[in-house]
Amino acid sequence: MQLHKRRKKMVEFGPIQLIAMGFPNLNTLNGELLKEIFKLSEHKIIRVVGLLAIVKDEKGRIASVQLTELSDDDRIKLAAGVGALIGLGAAGEEGAKALSNAAAEAAYYKEFGLSQKQIKDIAKNIPNDTYAGILLIEHLWAKKFKEIALKKHAVLLANGFITMDSLVAMGAHLAEGAKAAERVKLK
């Protein structure tokens, strides 16, 4: 099956985004972020593919919770589609078939999410008395846009979020460029 046909299988899902955040002060958390995530989900703007919350108390003890809004069927379809695309890139058609089947089977047996060992490895890297959250969301609002783009054989050239820090860095680069241009102009 060609890449285009495999991409079409993924039209059923909107674009998926990974967001990882750290919170250095547990006392500031009051559930407000979770309420907003669930509000966006209720309004069908996003769907929670996976959420992992890790709390590391002052003594280094770890507590975590994982959840998903995907049905069993959707987990299997998504796993198969992701597996097929990764397999296609790694080993062509045979890799796509093999990894699609393996991923679908793992999802069928609910072998998804992070293991306790993986969670401990993540928690090892965060300081005591802090919280970390990893959120995997599907952008439901963009499903139709994605479907149309794929029908038109669009190729994604770039993707990302413009953050406050990136705007500050852009300003610093512009200032350096302006200074360099002024020096050249003076000569």
Judge whether 78 and 11 are in contact, CB under 8 Å.
Answer: no
User: What is the SS3 assignment for 14?
Assistant: coil
Q: Write the burial class of residue 68 (CB in 10 Å: 0-12 exposed, 13-18 middle, 19+ buried).
A: middle
Q: Give the model's pLDDT for residue 156.
A: 86
Residue-level pLDDT at 3: 54
Pairwise CA distance, residues 7 & 154, whole Å: 11
Q: Tens digit of pLDDT per residue, the chain (187 long)?
A: 455 555 555 668 889 998 999 999 878 888 999 999 999 999 999 999 999 999 998 899 999 998 999 999 999 999 898 888 888 888 889 988 998 999 888 888 877 667 778 888 888 889 999 999 999 999 999 999 988 998 999 988 988 888 888 889 888 888 888 888 888 877 6
Rg over alpha carbons for the chain, rounded to the nearest Å, is 21
Kindly list the domain boundaries of the chain, sorted by start residue.
3-68+112-154
pLDDT of residue 2: 53
What pLDDT sits at residue 120? 84
Burial of 100 (0-12, 13-18, 19+ CB in 10 A): buried
- pTM recorded for the entire structure: 0.77
| Helix, coil or strand: residue 27 | helix
